[in-house]
Amino acid sequence: MTEASGPLSDLLVLDLTRALAGPHAAMMLGDMGARVIKVEPPTGDDTRSWGPPFVGPEDDRQSTYFLSANRNKESLVLDLKAEADRDVLARLVERADVLMENYRVGVLDRLGFSVERLHELNPRLVVLSITGFGHDGPEAKRAGYDQIAQGEGGLMSITGTTQPTKVGVPIADLIAGMNGAYGVLAALHERERTGAGRVVRTSLLAGMVGVHAFQGTKWTVAGEVPGLAGDHHPSIAPYGMFATQTAPIQIACGSEGLWRALCGALGWDAAEEGLATNPERVAHRDLLVTRLEALFADQPAEHWLALLSDAGVPSGKVRSMDDVYAWDQVRSQGLLLQVDHPTLGEIDIPGSPLRFDDNPFSGGRSTHVAPPTLGQHDAAIRAWLDED
């Protein structure tokens, strides 16, 4: 593995996770330069078989799902039911700064790596444990799957137009991964003062409840149960998606000044009775949306986007994925990386959402590395362990 620069380049992370929440957390640290060793069972991470689509030669097909969550990692195969391989993991733990796991509650203990054992091997180790519904409580032993967590955590109840709808990506997994990563960084910062590692815990359920934002306080404070939000903001109008002659556009009038700017661009009276204030517009949203779409039906989307842009009204397209990755603004932000995969050759993959001011690449690394094939780094890692 090529040594990388970056703000976390002095850290060693052991990624014992699979699927998405844990791998995403580990990838975030790898993007910032950490050395991440992905410990996989002989069958590999579950997502290596999740598809279609699969790409590459017929005898070595690669899952694009796996490719999305495992850049900047090394792959080491260990069978943790075998004593020799458990010994290898113990030697890795002694050297590591972080260990991430998302087994069901109690599984790691049964494999001989309880928290107590991990800290006996390495008192400075920071352990991240991601579960489906929390490590304790009456439903701690439930398996964690994204769509179930989206439903149980309330997110689906406010997503959709006519019935509850899941988000188009595994958002419960992704948010749990992000929460885990920033919890790890907090524990590493604390370790600088105390010299000791600690356990950081989060869950898919916690991630879902943690992003309720104003929809949560709508119930906890105001006593109102939020319903399906659809394509329009429940507390601001106009703020949402509108049909035009050719394609939908989105408008965000987040202030009274922007409402006046919109009305000026459209030749409307901003002080019209029933629409003069945001609470009034929210109360009459259906009427407002109907009036706007009746007007927008006369011209293509590009006409309205240009008009709104000139007026300073926030607006935008609803882009397809191919359009997003072709967009020069996305490319200018380092959000598309080209990496050299051992069987696929040069491939483009999404990049880190973070940039540091002395590096044009996303994540802060000087170079990014393709997701590994299963066991790609077995020999190199075992040789490294035997050096001392």
Reduced to 3 states (helix: H, G, I; strand: E, B; else coil), residue 81 is coil
Which is catalytic among the residues 119, 233, 284, 303?
233
Query: Which element (helix H / strand E) includes 193?
Result: helix 171-194
Rounded to a whole number of angstroms, the CA Rg of the chain reads 25
> What is the rounded CA–CA span in Å between residue 59 and residue 24?
27
In 3D space, the residue among 154, 200, 155, 150 whose CA is nearest the CA of residue 173 turns out to be 150
Q: How far is CA 241 from CA 87, 202, 258, 271, in A?
A: 56, 34, 16, 23
Give the integer Cα–Cα distance in Å for 92 and 112: 14
* 19 DSSP 8-state letter: S
For residue 233, indicate whether it is catalytic.
yes
Burial class of residue 283 in the structure, from the number of CB atoms within 10 Å of its CB (0-12 exposed, 13-18 middle, 19+ buried): middle
Contact 293, 242 (CB under 8 A): yes
Distance (Å, rounded) from C-alpha 89 to C-alpha 83?
10
Angle between helices 378-385 and 83-95 (to 10 degrees): 70
State the catalytic residues: 233
